[in-house]
């Protein structure tokens, strides 16, 4: 699953990006461009998307969860949020 697919499945999200400085040298690199680039040109940016919805885990209450991406692909989905590094 890529970033765009996760967004479509999970809905609105908060993000954390530790950009690949070789590809995105500017401190002011546009995070939307970094996220969009991962599907066709994945790099070594470290990305976490944080969601909250009822559908992912089929629960009556909203569940918070985080999807981590490596080289543009989801590698883990964990319940809960821990924003920040």
Residue 50 domain flag: yes
How many domains are contained in the chain? 1
pLDDT at residue 85, rounded to an integer: 52
Residue 19 domain flag: yes
Structure pTM? 0.88
The share of the chain scoring above pLDDT 90, in percent, equals 81
Per DSSP, the three-state class of 66 is strand
Q: How far apart are CA 68 and CA 3, in angstroms?
A: 9
- 83: pLDDT confidence band, cut at 50, 70 and 90? low
Which residue segment(s) compose the domain that 31 sits in?
3-79
| Pair of tokens at residue 7 | 């967004």
pLDDT digits (tens, 9 = 90+) for 22-54: 999 999 999 999 999 999 999 999 999 999 998
- 57: pLDDT confidence band, cut at 50, 70 and 90? confident
Average pLDDT over residues 9-34: 96
- List for the chain the helix, strand, coil content (%; round to 5): 20, 35, 45
Residue 85 domain flag: no
Considering the chain, what is the average pLDDT of its residues? Answer: 92
Could you say which DSSP state residue 5 is in?
H
């Amino acid at each position: 699953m890529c970033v765009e697919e996760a967004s479509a499945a999970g809905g609105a999200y908060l993000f954390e990006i530790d950009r690949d400085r070789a590809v995105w040298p500017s401190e002011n690199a546009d995070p939307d461009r970094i996220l969009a680039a991962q599907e066709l040109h994945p790099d070594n940016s470290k990305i976490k998307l944080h969601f909250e919805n009822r559908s992912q885990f089929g629960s009556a209450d909203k569940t918070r969860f985080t999807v981590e991406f490596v080289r543009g692909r989801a590698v883990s989905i964990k319940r809960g949020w821990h924003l920040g590094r």
